[in-house]
Amino acid sequence: MSYQVLVCQSSACRKAKAQQVLAAFRAASLEGVEGVEVVASGCLGQCGNGPMVLVLPDEVWYWRVLPEEVGAIAHQHLQLGRPVEAMRLRGV
Residue-wise pLDDT tens digits, 24-70: 999 987 776 788 999 999 999 998 999 999 999 999 999 999 999 99
> Looking at the domain assignment, is residue 42 inside a domain?
yes
Model pLDDT, residue 92:
78
Where do the DSSP E strands lie in the chain?
3-8, 36-41, 53-56, 60-62
Whose CA is closest to 52, among 3, 60, 85? Answer: 60
pTM for the model: 0.92
Model pLDDT, residue 90:
84
Paired with 36 in beta bridges are 3
Q: Where are the alpha helices (DSSP H) in 1-92?
A: 11-15, 18-27, 70-72
Domain of residue 7, CATH code: 3.40.30.10
Q: Could you tell me the residue range of the domain that residue 17 belongs to?
A: 3-87
> Looking at the domain assignment, is residue 92 inside a domain?
no
Q: Is the confidence at residue 8, as pLDDT, over 90?
A: yes
Please give the single-letter amino acid code of residue 67: P
> Looking at the domain assignment, is residue 61 inside a domain?
yes
Domain total of the chain: 1
Paired with 40 in beta bridges are 7
> Looking at the domain assignment, is residue 63 inside a domain?
yes
> Looking at the domain assignment, is residue 38 inside a domain?
yes
